[in-house]
């Protein structure tokens, strides 16, 4: 049994007469190719890739398990459970209707407020969850006003990805970066939130000029929407209080996790257990099991097992020494210049994330960037690179309909309710919009970290 | 017990080219919650139902299932709701039907028919295998009445 840590290279150990690095590269390339082809569910592909890595002897099971970032897994599962319980009380419908009435059901105003609601929710929750909560009520409001849903849904896609960029927990790339690099919730608030807010304002302005200012709704239709009683959207007041209390605790926990010496995963999963406890109180054993069973059923296990498989595949690649080699190559290509490296990472992440799933890309880039540490004078010096990676990967998700899972989720909901969003028309708008956000990020990263 | 032994033969039906306005009248008079819709040669093309019409009135987003948990916050004046139906009153009924509804065949067992009525819609058309020609219909109360007419072995 090998006792060494996951990061050590195995360059000289041949397996079946083949170089470990070659084998690991092969498994990685095939795994990613099949994930990108979308012919097989990504969780299955990642788990098969992980199994293959271990069976080929690139790494043993102990090393594979050490490669799984349980902080990320716990954070994802914990937040999914909290949302699964909270959404039952109807508070998210309440918020969307309230925001609509705040602007007197004026279409241009609704376009703005619903983007803001989506962005804020998505900074606090995962993007897919956010759009699942916001899109249905948006469709109801927009239909009542006899407006086309397309601008609203598209604007919400963008807002969810931009909002997610702002926090550690908002988007899976940030969860990964935060967890594996040891950046805190507040680090993200201080570094990614300002540019996310700026990009959101610019986007809202563009959409207002493009769509919002040209929209009109009949007075009687607006009156009917003003007649919506948002208070009646709350289905369970007791649950609402419990959920708000627990979400408040989680937020305090995230802001102070570094000072408390706790990982975000611990906070999220413990809070999830607390909310399940509060939700179960006063119910008999059978009803409790049924409730907990149902809640666990709402965890997106595809995402969770995708992460688990991916972590093992990447641990294998890391152990084989391939990533270290790539890091050296990349540093050599950029002449060992931090600024050039940061901007390259930003743009490459954005373009690649627009085309393929950003999670495997970010998961691979993290150990690769870590390996650049010695070149740039230690882990501290790498900070601009992490923000470049985060901004590129998160904003890049806006570049096409397949750029982020939230985009595909909205497209699915739009299709089912009879207003499909097509790949090419979306791309024509999305790619330039992403371009704007990446140019803004380039300026931001340069001014803030590189000069 | 097979469907052919208890179904209502020569059942009430709608022609797919009839207007919605007329179809709604026939539906209400039939006291059934749904009526089979046939083409010119008597083949089943779908089911016209109160449920299908409610789907026209309700926001399209309710098709997203549990993502729209309830509509308690919406209260619409009746005339607006009626307006939703008036807008489609001249359309042929064939445009507003549930296509490919669950059907039974004459030799389908009663247990299977009851299962379909238990899990699915309240009205079950019976069609000839292969031709899809409508030959009968049964619905929840009809099937229940047939069951109650017989003598059980429990007494």
Nearest residue of A to residue B76, measured between CA atoms: A224
Whether the predicted pLDDT of B128 surpasses 90: yes
| Contact: B72, A235; criterion CB under 8 Å | yes
What are the start-end ranges of the H helices in A211-300?
219-226, 237-260, 264-280, 285-297
The residue of chain A nearest to residue B65, with distances taken between CA atoms, is A136
CB A257 within 8 A of CB A263: yes
Q: Where are the alpha helices (DSSP H) in A38-149?
A: 42-55, 61-67, 70-86, 91-102, 107-124, 127-144
* ipTM, two decimals: 0.81
Q: What is the mean pLDDT of residues A381-397?
A: 95
Is residue A445 very low, low, confident or very high in pLDDT (cuts 50, 70, 90)?
very high
Interface size A-B, in CB pairs within 8 Å, comes to: 58
Say whether B59 and A140 touch across the interface (CB within 8 A). Answer: yes
A143/B59 touch (CB, cutoff 8 Å), yes or no? yes
Q: What burial class does residue B30 get, using C-beta atoms within 10 Å of its C-beta: 0-12 exposed, 13-18 middle, 19+ buried?
A: middle
Q: How would you label A43-62 residue by residue, b for 16+ Cβ within 10 Å and e otherwise? A: bebbbbbbebbbebbbbeee
**Do B118 and B104 touch, CB atoms closer than 8 A?**
no
Distance linking the first and last C-alpha atoms of chain A: 48
CA distance A191 to A194: 7
Among chain A, residues having any CB pair with chain B shorter than 8 Å are 87-88, 90, 93, 97, 132-133, 135-137, 139-140, 143-144, 224, 227-233, 235, 413, 416-419
Q: For B48, phi and psi rounded to 5 degrees?
A: -100, 125
pLDDT tens for A86-126 read 988 989 899 999 999 999 999 999 999 999 999 999 999 88
Question: What pLDDT does A6 receive?
Answer: 42
- Going by pLDDT thresholds of 50, 70 and 90, the confidence category of residue A321 is confident
Q: Give yes or no for a contact between A79 and A169, defined as CB atoms under 8 angstroms apart.
A: yes
Query: pTM for the complete prediction?
Result: 0.84
Residue B72: list chain A partners with CB under 8 A: 229, 232-233, 235
Residue (of A271, A265, A278) closest to A250 by Cα position: A271
Residue A418 in contact with residue B60, Cβ under 8 Å?
yes
- Per-residue confidence (pLDDT) for residue A4, from 0 to 100: 40
Q: What is the mean pLDDT of residues A294-323?
A: 89
As a whole number, the mean pLDDT across chain B is 92
B149 touches chain A (CB under 8 A): no
Q: Which residue in B73, B77, B78 has the most chain A C-beta atoms within 10 A of its own C-beta, making it the best mutation to test that interface?
A: B73
Determine which of A100, A131, A139 to mutate to test the interface with B (most B C-beta atoms within 10 Å).
A139
Measure CB to CB from residue A224 to each of B60, B61, B76 and give the nearest one.
Answer: B76
Distance between CA A34 and CA B49 in Å, rounded?
A: 45
């Amino acid at each position: 049994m090998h006792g060494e840590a996951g990061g050590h290279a195995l360059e000289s150990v041949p397996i079946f007469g083949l170089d470990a690095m070659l084998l690991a590269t092969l498994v990685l390339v095939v795994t990613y190719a099949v994930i990108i082809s979308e012919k097989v569910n990504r969780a299955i592909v990642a788990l098969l890739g992980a199994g293959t890595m271990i069976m080929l002897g690139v790494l043993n099971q102990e090393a594979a398990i050490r490669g799984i970032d349980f902080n990320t897994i716990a954070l994802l599962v914990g937040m999914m459970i909290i949302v699964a319980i909270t959404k039952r009380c109807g508070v998210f419908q309440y918020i969307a209707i309230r925001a609509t009435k705040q602007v007197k059901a004026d279409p241009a105003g609704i376009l703005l407020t619903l983007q803001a609601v989506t962005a804020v929710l998505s900074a606090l929750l995962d993007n897919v969850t956010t759009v699942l909560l916001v899109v249905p009520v948006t469709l109801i409001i927009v239909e009542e006003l006899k407006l086309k849903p397309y601008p609203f849904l598209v604007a919400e896609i963008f807002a969810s990805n931009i909002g997610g960029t702002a926090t550690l927990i908002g988007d899976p790339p940030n969860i990964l970066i935060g967890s594996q690099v040891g950046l805190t919730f507040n680090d993200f608030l201080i570094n990614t939130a300002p540019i996310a807010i700026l990009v959101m304002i610019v986007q809202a302005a563009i959409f207002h000029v493009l769509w919002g200012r040209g929209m009109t709704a009949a007075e009687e239709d607006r009156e009917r929407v003003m007649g919506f009683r948002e208070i009646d959207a709350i289905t369970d007041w007791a649950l609402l209080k419990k959920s708000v209390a627990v979400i408040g605790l989680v937020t305090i926990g995230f802001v102070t996790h570094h000072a408390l010496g706790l990982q975000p995963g611990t906070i999220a999963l413990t809070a999830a257990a607390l909310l399940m406890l509060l939700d179960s109180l006063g119910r008999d054993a059978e009803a409790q099991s049924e409730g907990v069973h149902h809640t666990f059923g709402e965890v997106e296990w595809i995402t969770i097992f995708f992460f688990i498989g991916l972590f093992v595949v990447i641990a294998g690649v890391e152990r084989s020494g391939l990533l270290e080699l790539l890091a050296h190559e990349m540093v050599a290509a950029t002449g060992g210049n931090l600024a050039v490296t940061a901007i390259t990472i930003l743009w490459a992440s954005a373009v690649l994330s627009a085309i393929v799933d950003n999670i495997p890309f970010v998961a691979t880039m993290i150990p690769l960037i870590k390996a650049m540490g010695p070149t740039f004078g230690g882990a501290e010096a790498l900070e601009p690179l992490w923000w470049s990676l985060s901004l590129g990967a998160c904003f890049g998700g806006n570049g096409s309909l397949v750029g982020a899972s939230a985009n595909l989720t909205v497209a699915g909901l739009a299709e089912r309710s009879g207003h499909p969003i097509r790949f090419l028309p979306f791309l024509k708008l999305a790619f330039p919009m992403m371009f704007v956000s990446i140019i803004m990020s380039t300026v931001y990263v340069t001014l803030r970290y590189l000069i | 017990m097979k469907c052919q032994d208890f179904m209502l033969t020569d059942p009430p039906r709608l022609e797919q080219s009839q207007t919605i306005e007329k179809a709604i009248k026939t539906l209400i008079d039939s006291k059934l919650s749904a009526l089979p819709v046939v083409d010119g040669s008597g083949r089943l093309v779908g089911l016209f139902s109160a449920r299908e019409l409610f789907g026209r009135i309700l926001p399209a987003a309710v098709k997203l299932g549990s993502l729209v948990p309830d509509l308690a916050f919406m209260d619409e004046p009746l005339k607006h709701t009626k307006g939703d139906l008036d807008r489609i009153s001249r359309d042929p009924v064939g445009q507003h039907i549930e296509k490919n509804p669950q059907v039974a065949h004459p030799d389908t067992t009663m247990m299977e028919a009851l299962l379909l009525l238990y899990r699915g819609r309240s009205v079950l058309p019976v069609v000839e295998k292969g031709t899809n020609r409508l030959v009968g219909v049964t619905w929840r109360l009809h099937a229940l009445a047939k069951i109650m007419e017989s003598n059980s072995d429990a007494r």
